[in-house]
Amino acid sequence: MCGICGIVHLSPRVPVDRDVLVRMTRTMSHRGPDDEGFYVSGAVGLGHRRLAIIDLATGRQPIHNEDSSVWIVYNGEIYNSPALRDALKQSGHNFYTDSDTEVIVHAYEEYGPHCVSKLNGIFAFVLWDAPRQRLFLARDRMGVKPLYYTSLPGVFLFASEIKAILIHPRVSRQLDLTALNQYLAYEYVPTPRSIFAGIKKLPPGHRLILENHQMQLNRYWDIRLARSETADRLAPAEQEEAFTNTLSQVVQEELLADVPVGVLLSGGLDSSAVAAAMVEHYPGKVLSFSIAFEDKSFDESRHARLVAQHLGTKHHEMTLTAEKMLEVVPRLGDLLDEPLGDSSVIPTYWLSHFTSHHVKVALGGDGGDELFGGYSTLQAHRLMDYYQRLLPAWVRQRVIPRLVEKLPVSFDNLSFDFKIRRFMAGQSDPPVLRHHLWLGSFNPMERRLLLTPQAQECDQEVEAPALAHAINSQAQSLFNQLLYCDMKLYLEGDILAKVDRASMANSLEVRVPLLNHRLLEFSATLPLHLKLRGLTTKYIMRQALKNRLPPTILQRGKKGFNMPVARWLTGPLLPLADDLFSEARLKKGGLFNATFVRSLLAEHLARKRDNRKLLWTLLAFQLWFEKWAA
């Protein structure tokens, strides 16, 4: 993986300041410690930092075509590049490297902007077509690789990370208040916004063309789960075989590298499935990596060890202590140039750090929950339907809330009281909004109590991304709408962003076979009852892998890669939280009501309420704010 950035002036008479381009590029040296390269020609400048994975000798970027009229900077891996290369050679294209980067250049020459539809991989690239004076940006189908941009009067800027764009002297650090409100609700800023006004994310499955002073943004691909509602039904056994074969094929494809490849193994169903397929195809002993926790309610390491022993991998394990956590938390602002309220970024960082000492590439299991229905929120929607149909309204409104309030507060991972309080919080909302309330942080009333009057935005702006995606899904089934929303929101905005930042901070490339284009297309036609059957999640995976994984792994429910935030907020994290939530600091920021924030912390310390999600979301924001916006 790599880091890319660039400057394009709309007037050919305004040259690129090479020094600014170099400084932009070097802010992302962690994304590419192996090399850097630049293309500067008049009004256009492209910068690149390289993490060498394929074609170690000649794959230096930027890369060009035969006559140096088309140049590219690229971050990603194209898994079908060998087949594309052969086809392009037959069409008369000449290659001077063995890299997949050059394949994109010639594919653009051959197919124009439609070349992105030919690519199976994870990518963000920007291509300069000098004869047409055209800048062409594209991002992979699911948004595995990031790409930000901003269009200012007379100049267009892009980069893999916001911090590179902020180097440019013309860029403002003004907060987008709608994005702030969305962050507090979702725990991330949904695409296409970023936390900064005017800086946007290129949406997944989209391309952007800047030509003749005009900018055109259009979608080249989308997943259509509605097909699963009308598709011809194969027998379950045939579907299971198709899943197993497709998984095997995509994992084999994604082992393409000129360096060793490992696997991130949590002991959950998804990463175990990837590891099982990898063992089939990897030429040698598979290296697997996992994180253990001292807090046993969060620790999944025994499951990872069980899978490793069953599959015969050479397993590596690291224990995350409070001391290790405290090394990274104060540096969250350096790690994240956009706030992210998912505390699992800390163990993901340490897992990446640990893994990077052994390999440069690792396969992960992200995406299985969204493709095959793995989140417990889907089970909760089914339970909510029973709950609202079977219990009288007066019981739901008067009796149950009183009983819930009497539950003792536990700081264990996904404790009963935590789950039941989250469940109850969403009962009066429409399902799509309830879904994101369960996954997210601050509800509308809490945001009104938290935010100062000048920082508040209307609830409709906050809810708009979830509602829009539900409509865009074109699905009739509520559960297909929810799966689509998860792919467009939680997966891209939280999971993939977290993995990208944590892994690239350690110069580790993480690939996600479960989001390979082949599996995406397979899952889109898979009937819902083979994803969620009753309350059984990821049904097809559990059935298809019966002979590949231990029964205890197949029977496990969703646990998540969580951190003991609730407990640590009452202990090792308390001095930092107390400092960041001081009245003086909050008043200086002008965004949050200090009295309300202090009350959240006091409630948590007294164990009157488990406010872990709210407090971590705020703590992560404060660390980001003081680094980038204060």
Span 229-257, pLDDT tens digits: 886 677 889 999 999 999 999 999 999 88
List the CATH number of the domain containing 287. Answer: 3.40.50.620
Query: End of a domain among 194, 219, 244?
Result: 219
Tell me the pLDDT tens digit for each residue of 278-288: 999 999 899 99
Residues 79, 100, single domain; the answer is yes
Q: What is the pLDDT of residue 561?
A: 64
Q: What is the pLDDT of residue 507?
A: 92
Residues 161, 195, single domain; the answer is yes
Residue 77's closest CA among 253, 209, 279?
A: 253
Residue 234 lies in a domain: yes
Q: Which of these ranges, 127-131, 304-308, 458-462, 464-468, has the smallest mean pLDDT?
A: 458-462
Tell me the pLDDT tens digit for each residue of 525-558: 999 999 999 989 999 999 999 999 999 999 887 6
* Per-residue confidence band for 136, with pLDDT thresholds at 50, 70 and 90: very high
Statement: residue 443 has pLDDT above 80:
yes
Q: What is the pLDDT of residue 584?
A: 94
Residue 50 lies in a domain: yes
Do 603 and 463 touch, CB atoms closer than 8 A?
A: no
Token output for 249:
């094929």
Residues 106, 245, single domain; the answer is no
Q: How far, in Å, CA of 598 to CA of 615, rounded?
A: 10
Residues 163, 204, single domain; the answer is yes
List the CATH number of the domain containing 33. Answer: 3.60.20.10
Residues 45, 131, single domain; the answer is yes
Residues 250, 202, single domain; the answer is no
Which residues form the domain of 136?
A: 2-219
Tell me the pLDDT tens digit for each residue of 390-427: 787 777 777 777 776 777 776 666 666 677 777 777 77
Q: What is the pLDDT of residue 16?
A: 97
- Give me the long-range contacts of 178-181 (CB less than 8 A, separation at least 24): 178/457, 178/461, 178/462, 180/455, 180/457, 180/591, 181/447, 181/451, 181/455, 181/456, 181/457, 181/461, 181/462
Residue 354's closest CA among 326, 306, 317, 325?
A: 317
Tell me the pLDDT tens digit for each residue of 418-438: 777 777 777 778 888 888 888
Q: How far, in Å, CA of 597 to CA of 106, rounded?
A: 55
Q: What is the pLDDT of residue 299?
A: 76
Residues 135, 178, single domain; the answer is yes
Amino acid at 520: L
Residue 396 lies in a domain: no
* Per-residue confidence band for 57, with pLDDT thresholds at 50, 70 and 90: low
Q: How far, in Å, CA of 263 to CA of 313, rounded?
A: 9
Tell me the pLDDT tens digit for each residue of 341-355: 999 999 999 999 999
Residues 119, 12, single domain; the answer is yes
Query: End of a domain among 219, 241, 258?
Result: 219
Residue 458 lies in a domain: no
Residues 192, 258, single domain; the answer is no
Residue 315 lies in a domain: yes
Residues 146, 255, single domain; the answer is no
Residue 581 lies in a domain: no
pTM of the model: 0.94
Tell me how many domains the chain contains.
Answer: 2
Do 286 and 279 touch, CB atoms closer than 8 A?
A: yes
Residue 185 lies in a domain: yes
Residues 28, 127, single domain; the answer is yes
Residues 231, 164, single domain; the answer is no
Residue 467 lies in a domain: no
Q: Which of these ranges, 5-14, 309-318, 385-394, 498-507, has the smallest mean pLDDT?
A: 385-394
Query: End of a domain among 554, 580, 604?
Result: 554
